[in-house]
Structure 1
């Protein structure tokens, strides 16, 4: 069984026009992603193990379907998962986790908010050339490694603003999660709701359902982390 091939179908899901063929690699990657988010909401460090499985398998998928810019984004998430695992595992002299769940201090929150607004605005107008550049870079890197890849035909983005919002907010949310800031879950809720709407509009109902589940997990994560932040004094100063 060629597990890593997107042509190796696990099940046909009768949703939308023609249904959706779910491959083994996508199924395992998706389950790993769901476990990652669920365990992160419970503040379990093992979430990063499943996160690494998720981004690795999705990078393989994006390679096969020639979404090279998305592949590079998975590499960023891979590094972020490794860093998050390290940051969450650090302990203080009392053998307690050094990082505590807390809210962003107001100056940092305003700073991250400004970064998001500016980055989304820029990406909305430049998303096609940015992804073309990332794709060319990925193709060049892989060709340099001896892989037989060609530059795919790129189409204009169907939803420039929403795609830009998801990309920017996902990067920021991942960074905030590695530092145990509550706001990461609020961003994931926004990201997942946008994803549900876009995938439903595109007729990819299986993906829309997946992100609906992720939205529920993110809402639960918000509830649990807000409660924990209150117990820890919420605005404790730390980097």
Structure 2
């Protein structure tokens, strides 16, 4: 993220190069975690997308900010669904232990 930010800062006219590069790096990490089915990926997506919403509002890109706000809602819903499945699995395991 830092290297990408320095490249953006020195070779482009990006409005917020360091923030943009860090968000891109965290997005890549979240994508990797998603492929590994880590539940923490949902928390990271919610956090990153909330920051993206603020960044796009700062840049006056309101439609893109609205899109990322929808991504926040979808990531929060995904997190909720994974927690629900996890609770069912834990309950099932606990039930098997008592039998």
Alignment RMSD: 2.1
Q: Which runs of 5+ in 2 are unaligned?
A: 91-99
Tell me the TM-score normalized by structure 1: 0.34
Paired residues in the alignment total 89
Structure 2 residue 89 is matched with structure 1 residue 232:
yes
Larger radius of gyration: 1
Contact residue 5 and residue 17 of structure 2 kept, 8 A: yes
Q: Which runs of 5+ in 1 are unaligned?
A: 1-119, 133-153, 234-239
Greater fraction helix: 2
Contact residue 27 and residue 48 of structure 2 kept, 8 A: yes
Structure 2 residue 40 is matched with structure 1 residue 127:
no
1:214 is displaced (CA, Å) by: 0.8
Cα deviation per residue 1:135-171 (whole Å; 9 max; x = unaligned)? xxxxxxxxxxxxxxxxxxx424322332122111111
Residue equivalent to 1:199: 56
Counterparts of 1:126 and 1:165, CA distance in 2: 8
Residue equivalent to 1:163: 20
Counterparts of 1:126 and 1:170, CA distance in 2: 13
Q: How does 1:18-33 map to 2 (within 5 A)?
A: none
Tell me the TM-score normalized by structure 2: 0.76
1:182 is displaced (CA, Å) by: 0.7
Structure 2 residue 56 is matched with structure 1 residue 178:
no
Residue equivalent to 2:93: none
1:126 is displaced (CA, Å) by: 5.3
Q: 1:157 to 1:180 in 2, by over 3 A?
A: same
Q: How does 1:27-176 map to 2 (within 5 A)?
A: 120=1, 123=2, 127-129=5-7, 154-176=11-33
Residue equivalent to 1:189: 46
1:229 is displaced (CA, Å) by: 2.3
